[in-house]
Amino acid sequence: MPRLLEELTAVILTHRDAPLDVVGSFESRVGEAYQILRGVVDEAVVLATCNRFEVYALPRRGFVETVIGFLGEASRYARILHGMDVVRHLFRVAAGLESAIIGENEILGQVARAYEEARRRGVAGKYLGLLFSQAVRTGKLVRSRTRISYGNVGAPGAAVKLAREAAGGFDGKHVVVVGAGEAGSIMASLVREEAPTARISIVNRSVDRARELAGKVRGEAYGLDMLPKLLAAADVVLVAVTVNEPVIKRSMLEDVGRHLVVVDISNPPAVEQPIPSNVYYAGLRDVEKVIKEVLAVRIREVPKAEAIVEEQVALLRKLWLKRGADEAIAEIMRYANRVMEEEVEELVSRLRGLGVDGAALLVARSFAYSLTKKLLRPLILYAHEAALEGSLSKLEEIAQKYRDELARRQH
């Protein structure tokens, strides 16, 4: 049966309203959430990340109370949205406008996976399917038509950007990555993505960890004792380690004797100061400056992104209403076809009794079908007009009358 857009409800808990540890505590409880939703939703999707826990639903009685109960003490931070506010919020989320780091890309995949999980569990039907498919479409449109996701606002990505610009690219270069932790892994992966022909050397205190990362980026693994030799052959050095004192000594850099690009995002710095004149050096402050510049570009794109979101929100409303109208029309047609079949069968029976031949019977049946469609055409046109005007509730009343009558005839 058609569902009104006004019925759409969401319970929202995000980093904007609640402490991160509170929000993050629900990320691993998606399965529990779906369990408690049984019986209080017709359709539902749970979106859970480290920054948000959101439940979207076409609800039955008790939905909001059930979710609030599930949230417990965290419910004081929750917001409840209805109708178009739900659509607008989800589309903004997919576009990266509600993220802690504006324009981040990961959320788009998380929105898509949340719907797929709900569909796998059998709780996401055609209405939330429409909502989430349009949300993902909106997120892609915003990113393709604006620079909302411009650059990289993580320190590793910004470090790679600085190094790329200073070195004139990485292809054919020898890039040494000091540190095999998360930051080092990101930097090495970004270099490999950009430069298939680069030679990448991973240097780490634990050679096993260096080997693990080197295997992922088609690189070579070394211990810290090999640093002086590697620096002498390097074009670019990217550093991300946790140390109490510098691991790259000034003397090592002086011994290189040629131009070298070094970007260090360690805190405290892992490269001994002052830096020799043959070395281009960028530290954490330089990287943070790049991040601020990237964020400034993204922020300037917000009005464009918001305009696209509003266009897509309006489109979703039309699509939702059309779907509702189509369902209402289908209810009416089911009733009309049932009545027509009954009447045609009775007519055919009578005509046979009068000796009418088979060809005439086919004509009679065809006439009945044609007459039914013509009689219903004004009602179908009205249904589509009503949907476009947002009068779906009136249309649903009409469809319900036909539904009730069909049920009565079947019994």
State yes or no: 3 annotated in a binding site: no
What gap in Å lies between CA 232 and CA 255, rounded to an integer?
Answer: 7
Residue 110 marked as a ligand binder: yes
Cα–Cα distances in angstroms (integers) from residue 309 to residues 103, 105, 134, 255, 362, in the given order? 13, 16, 10, 56, 53
Summarize the chain as % helix, strand, coil (round to 5): 60, 15, 25
119 is in an annotated binding site: no
- Secondary structure (DSSP) of 254-279: HHH-S-EEEEE--SS-SBPSSPPTTE
CA 202 from chain center: how many Å?
33
Place of tokens 């189509």: 326
Cβ of 281: how many Cβ atoms within 10 Å?
19
Q: Which bin fits 364, alpha (ψ -120 to 50), beta or left (φ > 0)?
A: alpha
Query: Is 51 marked as a binding-site residue?
Result: yes
Task: Report the sign of the C-alpha dihedral through residues 319, 324, 329, 330, in that order.
Answer: positive
Question: Is 180 known as a binding-site position?
Answer: yes
The verdict on whether residue 103 carries a ligand-binding annotation is no
Q: 370: annotated binding-site residue? A: no
Q: Is 272 annotated as a binding residue?
A: no
86-121 b/e with 16+ CB inside 10 Å = b?
bbbbbbbbbbbbbbebbbbeebbebbbebbebbeee
Indicate if 220 belongs to the active site. no
Residues in the chain: 411
How many Å apart are CA 162 and CA 155, to the nearest integer? 10
Which entry of 40, 50, 130, 230 is annotated as an active-site residue? 50
372 is in an annotated binding site: no
336 is in an annotated binding site: no
Q: What is the rounded distance in angstroms from the CA atom of residue 50 to the CA atom of residue 33?
A: 16
Phi–psi pair at 147, nearest 5 degrees: -105, 35
105 is in an annotated binding site: yes
Token pair, residue 248, equals: 């790259």
96 assigned binding-site residue: no
Residue 181 assigned to a binding site: yes
Nearest alpha carbon to residue 13 among 57, 35, 46, 38: 46
Amino acid identity of residue 120, one-letter, is: R
Q: Which residues contact 239 (CB under 8 A, 6 or more apart)?
A: 177, 178, 179, 247, 248, 262, 263, 264, 265, 266, 270, 271
Which alpha helices (H) appear in 146-235, and where do they start and end? 155-167, 182-194, 207-217, 227-233
Is 184 known as a binding-site position? yes
50 is in an annotated binding site: yes
Instruction: Pick out the residues of the known binding site for substrate.
Output: 49-52, 99, 104-106, 110
Instruction: Pick out the residues of the known binding site for NADP(+).
Output: 179-184
Give catalytic residues, as residue numbers. 50
Instruction: Pick out the residues of the known binding site.
Output: 49-52, 99, 104-106, 110, 179-184
